[in-house]
Amino acid sequence: MNIILASQSPRRKELLKRIGIENFKVIPAQGEELATRTLTPDQLVEELSQRKCAEVAAAHPKDLIIAADTVVSINNRVLGKPRSEEDAAQMLAALSGKLHLVYTGVTVAKEGRTLTQHEVTSVRFRTLTQADIIRYIATGEPMDKAGAYGIQGYGSVLVEGISGDYYNVMGLPVCRLARMLARFGVDTLALAAEKEQAK
């Protein structure tokens, strides 16, 4: 069975490999990430992951497709990827000293069968100074990440604590994904065991 990750995110690629899935293709969806404005964050990420998955599945109907979309939400405001350094600074200032929620929608599809779920993790930022924000933006890390930070990188020093799935904040809730893949006949622990025994 061919597995396709419908995302060009290096973090999602890394996480798939981390749970034992080595042999997969990367074919990112090309459509714009537009969705209905009235959706709640959980509905939004589910819809966007479904769209990405459907686009790639249409060209590869016999393969197993994995698609995901992540957003940050604070005070009912959804934060995607920043459009500029000023946008990133505004996002980081909004998150400073507060609790926010990270939502990831995941869709898995194969041969016309589709399963969509989402995960939510709460994250608390420490209080940031203007200098903290300027220096963090200078690393370049915020620019391709929802909410303008990466918990697995330099952004780790901004995070006081989390409640929920850490990997969800990276962009792929691997525990939930593994349970979803099992329903399509993919046992990630068996794949991991085979990988280790082959070393």
- In the residue annotation, 69 being an active-site residue is answered as yes
Structure pTM?
A: 0.92
Q: Residues 98-127: pLDDT tens digits?
A: 999 999 999 999 999 999 999 999 999 999
> Domain residues of the chain, as ranges?
3-197
Residue type, 37: R
Rounded to whole angstroms, how far apart are CA atoms 121 and 102? 5
Please report the pLDDT score of residue 36 as a whole number.
63
Classify domain 3-197 by CATH number: 3.90.950.10
Please report the pLDDT score of residue 134 as a whole number.
97
Q: Which residues of the chain carry a pLDDT beneath 50?
A: none
Q: Exposed e or buried b for every residue in 150-180, given b needs 16+ CB within 10 A?
A: bbbebbeebbeebeebebbbbbbbbebbbeb
Please report the pLDDT score of residue 76 as a whole number.
83
Please report the pLDDT score of residue 199 as a whole number.
80
Q: Which of 69, 87, 144, 187 is catalytic?
A: 69
